[in-house]
Amino acid sequence: MRTKVAITGAGPAGLLLSHLLHLRGIDSVVLESRDRAYVERRQRAGMLEQGTVDVLRDSGVGERLDREGLTHHGIELRFGGTGHRVPLTELTGRTVTVYAQTEIVKDLIAARLAAGGEIRFGAEVLAVDASAPSVTYRQDGETHTLECDVIAGCDGFHGVSRRAVPGVTTYEREYPFGWLGVLADVAPSTDELIYAYSERGFALHSLRSPRISRLYLQVDPADDLAAWPDDRIWSELRARFATRDGWELRDGPILEKAITPMRGFVAEPMRHDRLFLAGDAAHIVPPTGAKGLNLAVSDVTVLAEALGAWYDSGSAELLDAYSGTCLKRVWRAEHFSYWMTTLLHRDPGQDAFGHRLQLSHLAYVAASKAAVTTLAENYVGAALTL
Ligand code: APR
Ligand code: PHB
């Protein structure tokens, strides 16, 4: 068995890469350990930079995104019982779009299959060989080898491809926070996202549609979901979002809940020989800055272009620049995500002095044009290409 580009993982990185390569006439095979239903159901983030929307739209997979995605022009920072709007579009000229990652995954799978693309579900990659490029995987109890020109390691943080980069340097930060994410069958209580800081911890009000809300609470990453019955979740959300003017949070049935730890992680370089890492396989950001999905899209956009140039002209220049090009953006996103995370979360080890500093920092961000512009240009992604 042989293909040009063997792609490990059918997350947004692997699927979009396969789609972008197809548009350039380059064959690929995507190997995914889970089944299609699992991959399409998995709840993840959902805030897209304008650049991400452009990539999806320009490559012909933006039809449903254009119909169902919600274009936003601002977010709210809420602290001390008051909301402060960050006018993203006014400050940067750009918008952001709320459209769930899981919907992007569905759109990409449909587009790949409609174009005759090959996605092998239930195919667990066991090892990748970056030098005699090939991927060994198990499907239906049998072991197979897929030979290729190039491997794209898009198998996420827990995947195997990163291990095939000898001497890889990893940089890691565990944050002492977890996010309890909730999908609720209730109309959002806000039109724009609310990032709230209170003495009780962080909370985020996001949305999925005019009828479905997406909410997050800072919790101890070691917390058991059993400690968070629905009533406790709603009353904690209410306490953290409370304003002095009596803003009200609508509640409703909770459809899904899960706790995820927060970490920053970067693997350098993102390439070894014929293996290129992309997305969560190479880097993780805490979700406060909404950068994870956008970074994955940006990596594979760079990679598709570099592979296109290599197949067209034989020039490896862009491929050789791949890791450096991506890492510049990755580290900007790591810093912004760290900055947003520390700005908005209550550190369990923090004293009253630290809490006061944080309130002062928030007040400054809300009041200063320079400071709020820093937040805005990072949030919309404009600062990520600097
Ligand atoms: N063999 C085959 N597939 C694998 C293997 C393996 N050994 N290990 C992991 N996978 C699959 C996972 O099941 C998953 O579907 O690789 C895929 C990786 O997808 P994601 O985790 O979604 O990663 P990525 O495509 O890089 O997308 C990054 O996802 O976690 C969010 O915040 C992150 O939004 C960002 C996005
Ligand atoms: C989401 O809608 O899931 C979301 C939005 C913004 C974030 C994180 C998650 O910062």
- Note whether residue 157 is domain-resident: yes
Is the Cβ–Cβ distance between 267 and 169 less than 8 Å? yes
Cβ of 14 below 6 Å from ligand 1? yes
Is the Cβ–Cβ distance between 83 and 76 less than 8 Å? yes
Is the Cβ–Cβ distance between 178 and 202 less than 8 Å? no
Q: What is the pLDDT of residue 383?
A: 79
How far is residue 254's CA from residue 235's CA, in Å, rounded to a whole number? 13
Three-class DSSP category at 151: strand
Residue 358: which of 237, 215, 202 has the closest Cα? 202
**Domain count of the fold of the chain:** 1
Its sign, for the CA torsion 327, 329, 332, 335, is negative
The protein residue whose alpha carbon is closest to atom 3 in ligand 2 is: 45
The protein residue whose alpha carbon is closest to atom 17 in ligand 1 is: 9
Three-class DSSP category at 285: coil
Q: Could you tell me the residue range of the domain that residue 25 belongs to?
A: 5-47+101-172+263-344
Classify each residue of 228-259 as buried b or exposed e, where b means 16 or more C-beta atoms within 10 Å of its C-beta: beeeebbebbeebbbeeeebebebeebeebeb
Under 8 Å CB-to-CB from 5, ≥6 apart: which residues? Answer: 17, 18, 21, 26, 27, 28, 29, 148, 149, 150, 151, 152, 307
- Note whether residue 39 is domain-resident: yes
Looking at all shown ligands, the one closest to residue 288's CA atom is 2
Is the Cβ–Cβ distance between 171 and 161 less than 8 Å? no
CA–centroid distance, 197 to ligand 1, in Å, is 30
- Note whether residue 369 is domain-resident: no
For strands 70-72 and 169-184, give the pairing.
unpaired
Ligand 2 closest atom vs CA 208: 2
Q: Which residues pair with 49 in a beta bridge?
A: 96
For 9, half-sphere exposure in the C-beta direction (CA atoms, 13 angstrom radius) is 29
Is the Cβ–Cβ distance between 33 and 180 less than 8 Å? no
DSSP label of 246: -
How far is residue 167's CA from residue 153's CA, in Å, rounded to a whole number? 16
Ligand 1 closest atom vs CA 9: 16
CA–centroid distance, 100 to ligand 2, in Å, is 9
Residue 191: which of 290, 44, 45, 85 has the closest Cα? 85
The protein residue whose alpha carbon is closest to atom 4 in ligand 2 is: 45
Looking at all shown ligands, the one closest to residue 204's CA atom is 2
Cβ of 206 below 6 Å from ligand 2? yes
Q: Which residue has the tokens 């997979």?
A: 61
The protein residue whose alpha carbon is closest to atom 9 in ligand 2 is: 45
How far is residue 186's CA from residue 165's CA, in Å, rounded to a whole number? 46
Instruction: List active site positions.
Output: 72, 195, 287, 291, 379
How far is residue 386's CA from residue 380's CA, in Å, rounded to a whole number? 13
Q: Looking at residue 290, which CATH number applies to its domain? A: 3.50.50.60
The phi, psi pair for 79, rounded to 5°, reads -160, 155
How far is residue 192's CA from residue 148's CA, in Å, rounded to a whole number? 45
- Note whether residue 287 is domain-resident: yes
Ligand 2 closest atom vs CA 195: 10
CA–centroid distance, 339 to ligand 2, in Å, is 16
DSSP assignment of 151-208 equals EEE---TT-SGGGGSTT-EEEEEEEEEEEEEEEESS--S-SS-EEEEETTEEEEEEEE
Ligand 2 closest atom vs CA 45: 3
DSSP H or E run through 235: helix 230-241
The phi, psi pair for 228, rounded to 5°, reads -120, 70
- Note whether residue 208 is domain-resident: no
Is the Cβ–Cβ distance between 85 and 76 less than 8 Å? yes
- Note whether residue 352 is domain-resident: no
- Note whether residue 271 is domain-resident: yes
Q: Which residue has the tokens 């069958």?
A: 185
| Rg from Cα positions in the chain | 21
Cβ of 277 below 6 Å from ligand 1? no
User: Average pLDDT per run of 10 along the chain, which is 386 residues long?
Assistant: 97 98 98 98 93 98 97 98 98 97 98 98 98 98 98 98 95 97 98 96 96 97 97 98 96 97 97 98 97 98 98 98 98 97 95 93 97 97 80
Tell me, what amino acid is at 113? L
CA–centroid distance, 205 to ligand 2, in Å, is 8
Tell me, what amino acid is at 325? T
Three-class DSSP category at 152: strand
Is the Cβ–Cβ distance between 86 and 74 less than 8 Å? yes
- Note whether residue 152 is domain-resident: yes
